[in-house]
Amino acid sequence: MELSVQLLSLVGDIYDAALDDSLWTSTLGSIVDLAGGRSGGLVRIGPAGEAVISHAVGVDPSYVRSYIETYEPFDPSRGVLHAPVGQIQTIGDWIDVGEFRTTMFYNEWTRPQGLDDAANLLLDKSAAGLSRLSVMKAGGLVDRRMYQVISYITPHMQRAMHVRQKLQQQNALEAISAHTLDALRAAILLLDANGHITHSNASAQEILDEADVLRSVHGRLMTSDPNADRILRQALAGTGLGDRAMTGISLHLAARDGSHYVAHFVPLTAGRRQMFGASFEACAVLFVTKAALDTIVAPDLIRKLFKLTPAELRVFLSIIEVGGVPDVARSMGVAESTIKTHLARIFTKTGTKRQADLVRLIAAFTPPIKI
């Protein structure tokens, strides 16, 4: 009964923190205490793969710095980034506990703090990044109480992250102006229901001037791909009919020189998006960029397309994020021969021959913005 009361109080704190970011540290401390943990952290991974510890409790600041600067790529709990959202996972879900205790990460970062295990939870995941909760345990492996507490708060933590994202989106949207659009690297075109360009930023104008993947014909946007052009017209027609159920779409465009572009179409048919569009007499916005590396979203697409096993995906990502075979073997705590075996299978499945080819492959599947 006492635990139930504490959990209900904690849920209230979580929603308060969603509205006031300054409350997250104390709320995280309550989560760690109630779960029987030693320390905990809320980690944000940005679209370029950079890790930021948003909030941490029970961890000396020097260890927070060393984690970000040195040890984060070697943390096996990063595997939660590729797990289903909302699923609790521990160290043992990615690596044998005995093997984990032979790794550099354990001996140089985990053990000196007296930690043994951690419960990790992926809270949200999108092209704009992701958030994960980590509650670290001393004196043994993650136990039933920690699972119970984290399982109970999981849906509330996810909703809190969703509320936080919506507030950030609202604030960002209110700050948008033609001046800031022109300062962005991504090409941005605002379109009316007939496909006429009502505004284009500097980057978009450069693409239009080249008249390759995109061009303006009497003020109307045209693409180099007839099929993409047809899909774009259909999407624009949907916004003109007031279809509020419409969602964004993505289009692949190829330039004459063989480079690849990704266009993301977002309808301006609801809420503040509609208010923003009205100021430019637009019903949709089109973001266009060259394909670029994204180590958060691309792996899921690569895994499904090439049917990689979890172990192969982990090696694939480690080759890109950590380095060559010796470094990957050391970070994963396995023999180099094991890594070479996985790498050979990855090359066969993906039709590549070199590690550099893998980098280019993952970059080709990367959406550059959040829709």
Cα(217)–Cα(209) distance, integer angstroms: 11
Beta bridge partners of 191: 197, 284
For 289, what's the count of Cα atoms within 13 Å in the CB-facing half-sphere? 17
Where the chain has pLDDT below 70, the residues are 1, 49, 168-185, 240-248, 258-260, 269-280, 290-298, 356, 359-360, 362-371
Tell whether the torsion through CA atoms of 274, 277, 283 and 284 is positive or negative: negative
Q: Which structure tokens are listed for 277?
A: 């569009």
Report the C-alpha gap between 295 and 320 in whole angstroms: 9
326-342 confidence digits (pLDDT tens): 988 998 889 999 999 99
What domains sit in the chain, N to C, each tagged with a CATH number? 2-174 (3.30.450.40), 177-290 (3.30.450.20), 298-364 (1.10.10.10)
Q: Are 201 and 184 in contact (CB under 8 A)?
A: yes
**DSSP letter, residue 21:** G
Please tell me the predicted confidence (pLDDT) of residue 368. 44
Q: Which two structure tokens, joined as six digits, stand for 144?
A: 């039933």
Give every CB contact of residue 232 below 8 A, 6+ residues apart in sequence. Answer: 195, 221, 223, 251, 265, 286
**Residue 247: its pLDDT value, please?**
60
What's the one-letter identity of residue 229?
A: D
Q: Residue 160 class from Cβ within 10 Å (0-12 exposed, 13-18 middle, 19+ buried)? A: buried
